[in-house]
Structure 1
């Protein structure tokens, strides 16, 4: 059993709100409704085509494409019982979704937080050129510099461990895996390339994403397919 090494401050059995008011501040950018028609309808073909892709073209990504990926990866669906498109242990919803915009139409370059209920992005900070920082963060994995965006999954251990504190790390890592599969399948359905990344400098990435309270545990680069893909 994985034992949590993170300090947990929440009372046991007391859930932590997914929509923390203090987390979503600054300018809000509403995302368009996700498209319904996908590039590949056959699920079996879609899963066979899914692969890690590190070659990206210079083609810009659209807001609708980003909207689709985020919506079907971690949007909070409002129905009789609010739910995410992924399993979440004891309904804890322990992930925080960060988006690094590098080349997306009508969105400034910068770091954003994704609001899973509003389906919108909140600007954390802008940057003009983050290539040098990204090279240091990702230990010279230079293919990342050609991506149109990066999606980072931050681990809120306090939320993950509200019911079973000793298993918080296990729950949040399992959920990151669920969401990662959704991100890659959603990207593949739009004929976009994506790659999961777990090799990076933790201190630097949390400074860059301003995710110190929810350390980044998984990152996905996304872009239009390059010639070598």
Structure 2
């Protein structure tokens, strides 16, 4: 059966790869996106100082499931910091490359993390952007009304706003294309899967559940995040909230 998906796989096969911008000597793009953000900046607690439940890896993997119902409880700023570090934390930087807590093709790490804060201690409700190198948050839009707009863009799925926090990952394709050309678009989606799985596993150590979301209106989400949908676009979403232990 022919279709867009099949054509994408065919045209991004390795044997069709052309010379990348990296091989042609073009400078690499920035390691994170920060342009145009003028909101309040929040320092996050250092991940190494955060205490979480000790968990058995096999038990965590065996018990992993998607959770759409959450307790009406907040998560702490320390717990949010821990989740952000587990999903995009920078361990060290070497030769203009970031080495993080998740794998990425060629260590390109072409994803950005936005969060919809619904119930986090010490943070106003609203939309934030995570800066992984500095381990900080930038407030993009304050107020609870943005939550309703994001819920609508997620096809009215109620757990988007019933969560303590909803993670929204975007892709910056040129960060990956610079090394891999058009084939890099495949790697963006693989990377998103790595990140979300880390969220599922790490959330259990703070008594939280997660539900990944792939059903959303792309253009609406991009508009709400104030990104253009081409140089940066929404790729994956996941909700997080406290659950019964």
TM over 0.5, yes or no?
yes
Aligned-pair Cα RMSD in Å: 2.1
Given that residues 33 and 112 in structure 2 are in contact (C-alpha distance below 8 angstroms), is that contact kept between their aligned partners in structure 1?
Answer: no
- So what's the TM-score if we normalise by structure 1? 0.88
Q: Which of 22, 26, 30 does residue 39 from structure 2 map onto?
A: 26
Distance, in Å, in 2 between the alignment partners of 1:131 and 1:171 is 30
Tell me the CA shift for residue 111 of structure 1: 1.2
**2:141 is equivalent to residue 128 of structure 1:** no
Structure 1 residue ranges, 4+ long, deviating more than 6 angstroms after superposition: none
Task: Report how many residues are paired.
Answer: 221
Tell me the CA shift for residue 21 of structure 1: 4.4
Within-5 A mapping of 1:109-128: 109-128=125-144
1:95-135, CA deviations, whole angstroms, 9 ceiling, x for partnerless residues? 01111111111111111110111111011111233353233
Q: More helix by proportion, 1 or 2?
A: 2
Given that residues 2 and 167 in structure 1 are in contact (C-alpha distance below 8 angstroms), is that contact kept between their aligned partners in structure 2?
Answer: no
Unaligned runs of 5+ in 1: 5-10
- So what's the TM-score if we normalise by structure 2? 0.83
Q: CA distance change for structure 1 residues 43 and 143 in 2, over 3 Å: closer, same or farther?
A: same
155-164 or 27-36, which deviates more? 27-36
1:31-85, CA deviations, whole angstroms, 9 ceiling, x for partnerless residues? 1122554324211111112110001111111101100000111011126674011
**Structure 1 partner of 2:84:** 70
Task: Tell me which of the two structures has the higher relative contact order, counting C-alpha pairs closer than 8 angstroms and 6 or more residues apart.
Answer: 1
SS of the residue 1:176 aligns to? helix
Given that residues 157 and 168 in structure 1 are in contact (C-alpha distance below 8 angstroms), is that contact kept between their aligned partners in structure 2?
Answer: yes
Distance, in Å, in 1 between the alignment partners of 2:171 and 2:89 is 17
For the pair shown, the structure with the greater C-alpha radius of gyration is 2
Within-5 A mapping of 1:47-66: 47-66=61-80
